[in-house]
Amino acid sequence: MASYTKLITFLERDDNQRFLLVAHERPDGDTVSATLAMARSLKLLGKKITVASSQGVPEVFKYLPDWRDAKDDFLIGDFDAIILIDNGDLKRTGYSDRIIKARDRGIPIINIDHHPKNDIWKYANINVVDETASSTCEIIFGLFRKMNIDLETDIATMLLTGIYTDTGGFQHANVSAKTFSAAAELMSHGAKLKNISTNISNHKSLSMLKLWGIALDRIVKLDDIKLVYSIITCADIESVGASDQDLAGVVNLISTIPDDVATLLLYETPDGKIKGSLRTESAKVDVARIASLFGGGGHKRAAGFVIEGKLEKTNGGWKIV
């Protein structure tokens, strides 16, 4: 359970007026929604807010209010504090050098997250973390209740979006009674679940479906190690006019294959790297430990990593070069 007291005291101080809110790179629904909701609420308190996302806001989340507020650049000296939202680790912010520099200058760092303890903890002055929460949006929902923030329709929709996406539409094992309670209260404040589900689950472009088709066609099941995996290259993405952001959700779909223990999607990114996304529904497998072998991390049942290299097809399958 996260403790909010220290954070609330800090946010309500009159001398803390200018905040930088940072979403993680390759942003998902939780980090986008939590960051935008936090920005909206702090503005209601009269604070000056800048939202930073090194890779913008994916097309699928552009139904959310205020998404245009996200910037990819900023000056560290412009802020009284930096809030890292759902980042998982420092590298994932996309601004690790600047954040370290800010910390060295004495600018307070605040960490709001539901990932396991990581390197951000040693830089942060305040850590508000709850590994049992379904999402960072669920944590921020609790924060807003403590602060008596008005859960207007837009804020409620943002927070429900993050909960919806990080639980796979309330299907994953991270869903708890507390999650449903938060969702119910957000809907009572006008959160638009139908709009969320339409945009997240039911609205897929032709290029996205074609890309998913390639990923599904390449599924391989390794019975000896209980792994199901698929591969996507930059050439695949370009061939259907898609982007790597269109792969969001593929690994979750693949993980629905019965009897698999872990699922892996490897895909090339435009910056010459390979992203690995891992999922499992097995309580006996910790995919975060697997991801950590490659410098990544995440949750026990959902994790990821990024490595240098390219994917090359061979006679027997694929290799990393």
pLDDT digits (tens, 9 = 90+) for 232-244: 999 999 999 998 8
| Integer Rg of the chain from CA | 19
User: Which helix H or strand E contains 312, and what residues bound it?
Assistant: strand 311-314
Specify whether the CB–CB gap between 263 and 279 falls below 8 A: yes
Specify whether the CB–CB gap between 66 and 36 falls below 8 A: yes
User: Which helix H or strand E contains 208, and what residues bound it?
Assistant: helix 206-217
Mean pLDDT of 150-167: 96
Mean pLDDT, the chain, integer: 93
264 forms beta bridges with 229, 278
317 forms beta bridges with 314
Specify whether the CB–CB gap between 72 and 56 falls below 8 A: yes
pLDDT-derived band at 187 (thresholds 50, 70, 90) equals very high
Lowest mean pLDDT among 44-53, 119-128, 199-208, 272-281: 199-208
**Residues listed for the chain:** 321
Which residues, in sequence order, are CB contacts of 157 under 8 Å at separation 6+?
64, 65, 186, 190, 191, 192, 195, 196
pLDDT digits (tens, 9 = 90+) for 118-136: 899 999 999 999 999 999 9
pLDDT of 102 over the 80 cut: yes
| Angle ∠(194,181,6) on CA atoms, nearest 5 | 115
pLDDT of 172 over the 90 cut: no
Q: Which residues of 154-193 are buried (b: 16+ CB within 10 A; e: fewer)?
A: bbbbbbbbbbbbbbbeeebbbbeebbeebbebbeeeebbe
The residue assigned the tokens 């991270």 is 174
Angstrom distance (rounded) from CA 160 to CA 166: 10
User: Which helix H or strand E contains 266, and what residues bound it?
Assistant: strand 262-268
302 forms beta bridges with 279
Closest CA to 32 of 173, 211, 160: 160
Of all residues in the chain, the percent with pLDDT exceeding 70 is: 99
Q: 3-state DSSP call for residue 314?
A: strand
Specify whether the CB–CB gap between 60 and 199 falls below 8 A: yes
pLDDT of 105 over the 90 cut: yes
Instruction: Supply the pTM of this predicted model.
Output: 0.88
The residue assigned the tokens 């472009």 is 205
Looking at 213-259, which runs of residues are DSSP E strands?
220-222, 227-232
The residue assigned the tokens 């061979």 is 314
- Tokens standing for 301? 């049942």
Specify whether the CB–CB gap between 41 and 59 falls below 8 A: no
Q: 3-state DSSP call for residue 27?
A: coil
Domain architecture of the chain: domains with CATH: 5-200 (3.90.1640.10), 206-320 (3.10.310.30)
